[in-house]
Structure formats: C-alpha cells, structure tokens
Amino acid sequence: MQILESYLEGAWRAGDGDGAHLYDPTTEQPVARASTAGLDLGAALAHAREVGGPALRALTFAERGDLLARMSKAIHAEREALIEIGRVNAGNTRGDAKFDIDGATGTLMFYAGLGKQLGDRRVLRDGELAQLTRNNRLVGQHIRVARPGVAVLINAFNFPAWGLAEKMAQALLAGMPVLGKPATATAWMTEAMVRAVVAADILPAGALSLLTGSAGDLLDHLTWGDVVAFTGGAETGATIRKHPAILANGVTVNVEADSLNATILLPGADEATYDAFLRAAHTEITQKSGQKCTATRRILVPAEMVEDVIEDLGAMLARTKIGDPADADVRMGPLASAAQLASAREGLAALQAHADVVWGDPEGGAAVNDGVGHFMTPVLLRAKAPLEPGPIHDREVFGPVSTLLPYADLDEAIAATRLGQGSLVTSVFGDDRDALRALIEQLAGWHGRLVITDAKIAEKALSPGLVMPHLQHGGPGRAGGGAELAGEAGLALYTQRCAIQGNAGLLDHILA
C-alpha cells in the first residue's frame, strides 16, 4: 500500500490516520492512501507567502522560465513510472497516460519559452502609454506584477499531471508560489510528479507546495492576495466561491466547471472533412474513457445524414477494444472510480428519458473484465426533441456517452448549441464559408473556443478536446466563466494590474 504525503513548508509530511484510500479501477483493489489530518495548513500557506513569494518575485521572467524548463525535464525523466501509476490508479491506457503527462511537460515547456521571450524584467507593461494632459510629459501606464499571495490550484481527478502543470506554469512564471490540491482519487500521479521536481532541487524554498488528501480547513486561511484556480464540478465551484473567507477577503477565484461541448457537422461537407469529423467524434468519446472536460457531449448532424453517422461512427466504436489497460491492444480502460461510474450511469439514465440509444449497450460494462472494475462501454443516443431544454443540454455525463442531435437548418443548429448555456469548446466541420462565418458570429459569445475544420486542414486537424497553451481554456456560463492558458494572457489571473502615473521619460526608463 503506497502512503501518499503532502509537501508543505519544504518537507514531506504524512497526515494522521488512514485518511482516504485510492483504488485500481480495473481490479477495484486499494493501491494507496492519503491523509491530511493534523497538518497545519495555515502555516503552510504563510510559509509559501513569506518565503516562496519574495524568492520568486526577485527573479526575472527569463529566470522563472528556466525553472519551468527544468521542471519539465525532471517530470519527463519519470515518464515511464508516471505512466504505470496512471494505469494502476486511474485506469489509463498507455496512450491516455501519455496524453496527460506529455500535456503537462509540454505546457511547462511552452511557458518556459514565454519566460525567455519576456526576458530580464519583473514587470509587464499592459497596453500603451496614455497621455493625461496637453503636456505630453505627464502620462499613465498600466503594468502587471505578481499578486502577493499564494496560488491555490484545486484540480479534477481526470488530469492529475496536466491539470496541475497548466495552472502551475502560469502562476510560477507570473511570480506566485503555488499550493497544488489534486483530487484525492487519482492523486498518486500528482504526488509522484511533485516528488520528481522536489528531488531535482529546482525551485526556491516555498515556491511549491502539495496537499494530498482532504482539503481540510485550507480555504479558511486564504487572504486577499491569494488566488484560487479550480477545475471540477459546478457544485463544488459554487461552494468555493461562497466560502466565508473568500467572500470576506475578496480572494480571486477562477472556475472551470461542467461543459456540454458540441460538434457540428455541416451539410455538403467534403469527404476529407467528414472523415475528420468522425475521427474527432470517436476520439472525444473514447479518449480517457470520455472523462475530459472538453469531450464532445452533443453531436449536431443534418437530419438527412444521421443514419450514415450512426453507421460510420458506430463501426469505429465497435473496433475500439475495451478492457484492462495493461493489455497493449486495449484502447479504452475503466472509469477512474466507483463514484464516477455510478455518476455516469445515473446521468445516462437521465438522458435516456429524452433520447433513444442508437448504438451501444448502457449495461455493456458489466461484461468487460469478467465483471470486475469500473467499466462503461460507449453509448450513442439520439435526441427525441433536440431543441427541448433539459438533460441533453444541461446534464454532463462524464463518460463515453454522446448524444446525436438532428437539425433541419443552420438556425436550428445554432439554437440547439446555445442551449448548452456556455461551453468550453464547440467544433465545426464543414466547407460552406457563409455557414462557417454565421456560426462564428452567432456562437462565439457562448464559448471559450471554437474549432473550425475544413477540407484544407482536415488531415492535420487537431481533435477539439486537445487544449493548447497558446489559446484560452475556459468558457462562460455553466462552463464556469473562468479562463486559463492563452499564452501571456494566462498570466493575468496571477498578476495585479496597477496604473502608474508620472513623468513619461522616467516611466519609460524604469519600465524598459
């Protein structure tokens, strides 16, 4: 039994008692445990603020970027061990584990490169100089500097490596110390990743902390200079936002929550575009067993093409081997935990009141791996009333489940997509430029990202669920209203904007 520890005040610490158990979702056997009982989280945050914060703020962006590059290399060196942990603790296939780990190291390296570009300075200019009077000597300049607190990074179970790394990269580059709080169910990979960084002795004291297990009274100790970046369910996000200490102290909170992402296939799509649509739909149903916040939950198809899509996509799903991720031929493993399987089954039942199963077996998971493990086989549904508000548009089933929504014209496709009430990403596959222009204009306000694929890029198109550090990750409305990544823009969450007024020549010299 692996005993997971927290890294607080520069030391690895085990909590009292047994705490929570972590399981292998393929065998249902316990593999690790984690406890935070008895840990002084107020002291841990104070250490990060008082030791880690000043040390990071004393470094230039280039120097902080160098730290991120070294962190990326340290994690990559443990790649094989991390892949095995992903299999044992999260039911990841090798491909799914690599997707998580390589996403983490790649994002760290991207922000390392950004640090190098920002160079030997500690202050970011935010916009241009503003002349304040007729005399052009008196000006104002907005700047951004690191917030004077701790970035508390609370992450979901599905990406224990990438989830922490994408937030950590931005916060550390901005100059804020971080305290990572992974979801307990799959925290083993996060703990191993942080151990690799700590062992490499890369970061200044206090710059990195990790809480493995229950959050306990962590939020009670937050102050005005701190930031909470949360990824997970909308209900938990709302609880964090309403926490008394967060409200009383004006703590900045960023939430990335539920999302009913959509894919839209346009009429008359080129064969290459249609093939790209099928590949993306298949990937988003099966990758990570459908346990991605960016996975496609609603597939909008011209009514006259629905039967073809069911046949073609169903054939791809039928060729996807499901089972023990230790088997090299397996392409989809179990859901991460018993709780996730129960939630997905409950959600699927809710969808079935409004949609018919057109491919797959809702009970098919019971026949996988001799009935042992948290397996769920892919299911495609067809909405009975695509434009009717209800579970299809507001119940995210976090598993290999997607619903087909036939539409008659572009207005119906737009209306149905908007019923998601704000999403992380919608992807559009088509070659009609007028229709693509209309969709961008009519849907951009409902989304954090739109992915457009036509025949010219179809063969090289990235799956819409792939989050790139260059672009924003986050979305409005039910998606949480938060925003992460987006290159340099991602530093905004962890920096304070300040307006400086003064002598133009002096400011230009100081802020050069």
User: Is residue 463, in this structure, part of any structural domain at all?
Assistant: yes
Question: Which tokens hold the place of 428?
Answer: 């559009």
Q: Is residue 103 part of a domain?
A: yes
Tokens at 191, concatenated: 């703990």
Averages of pLDDT over each 10 residues, the chain, 512 residues: 96 96 97 98 98 98 98 98 98 97 98 98 93 90 97 97 98 98 98 98 98 97 98 94 97 95 97 98 97 97 97 98 96 96 97 98 94 97 97 96 98 98 97 97 97 96 94 96 95 97 90 82
Query: pLDDT value at position 352?
Result: 97
DSSP H helical segments within 58-174, as ranges?
A: 61-76, 79-90, 94-118, 162-174
| Same domain for 436 and 315 | yes
Catalytic hit among 191, 293, 396, 484? 293
Residues 6+ apart with CB under 8 A from 71: 108, 197, 200, 202, 203
Residues 251 and 325 in one domain: no
DSSP letter at 48 equals I
* Contact predicate 402/296, CB 8 Å: yes
Does 188 lie in the same domain as 76? yes
pLDDT of residue 1: 85
Domain count, the chain: 2
User: What is the distance between the alpha carbons of residues 438 and 433, in angstroms, rounded to a whole number?
Assistant: 9
DSSP annotation string for 397-440: --SSEEEEEEESSHHHHHHHHHTTSSEEEEEEE---HHHHHHHH
Q: Of the candidates 414, 385, 291, 269, which has an alpha carbon nearest to the alpha carbon of residue 344?
A: 291
Print burial letters for 475-490: b (CB count within 10 Å at least 16), e (below 16): bbbbbbbbbbbbbeeb
State the CATH number of the domain containing residue 309. 3.40.309.10
Considering the domain architecture, whether residues 154 and 249 belong to the same structural domain is answered as yes
Phi, psi (deg, nearest 5) at residue 283:
-60, -45
Q: To which H or E segment does residue 391 belong? A: helix 391-394
Rounded Cα distance, 23 and 101, in Å: 20
**Domain match, 444 and 319 both:** yes
CA distance 109 to 72: 6
Helix locations, 7-78, DSSP H:
41-47, 53-57, 61-76
Dihedrals φ, ψ of 128, to 5°?
-95, 165
CA distance 409 to 178: 48
Name the DSSP class of 1.
-
Whether residue 476 is contained in a domain is answered as no
Contact present, 386 and 407 (Cβ < 8 Å): yes
* Domain assignment present for 17: no
User: pTM of the full predicted structure?
Assistant: 0.95
Judge whether 2 lies within some domain.
no
One domain, residues 162 and 269: no
100 domain residue, yes or no: yes
User: Does any domain span residue 7?
Assistant: no
Among 256, 284, 396, 484, the active-site one is: 256
Q: Is 191 a catalytic residue?
A: no
pLDDT of residue 13: 97
Query: What DSSP state is assigned to residue 348?
Result: H
Domain extent for 429:
261-468
**Token reading at 29:** 């056997």
Q: Single out the residue of 203, 176, 189 nearest to residue 104, CA to CA.
A: 189
How many angstroms separate the first and last alpha carbons of the chain?
55
Assign residue 172 the CATH number of its domain: 3.40.605.10
327 and 365, same structural domain?
yes
Strand 29-34 relative to strand 208-210: parallel, antiparallel, unpaired? unpaired
Give the type of residue at 491.
L
Pairing mode, if any, of strands 130-131 and 124-125?
A: unpaired
Q: Which of 194, 211, 212 is nearest to 203 (CA)?
A: 194
Residues 497 and 444 in one domain: no
Q: Are 268 and 252 part of one and the same domain?
A: no
Distance CA 192, CA 76 (A): 12
Q: Is 103 left (phi over 0), alpha (psi -120 to 50) or beta?
A: alpha
pLDDT at position 168 is 98
In this structure, the answer to whether residues 177 and 74 fall within a common structural domain is yes
Calpha distance 398→228 (Å, rounded): 24
Do 123 and 271 sit in the same domain of this protein?
Answer: no
Cα torsion angle, 479, 420, 294, 446, sign: negative
Contact 43, 211 (CB under 8 A): no
Tokens for 115, please give them.
């640090």
**In whole angstroms, what is the distance from residue 509 CA to residue 150 CA?**
30
Classify 485 in phi/psi space as left (phi over 0), alpha (psi -120 to 50) or beta.
left
Is the same domain home to 381 and 413? yes
Residue in 165, 156, 22 with CA at minimum distance from that of residue 89:
22
Residue 5 lies in a domain: no
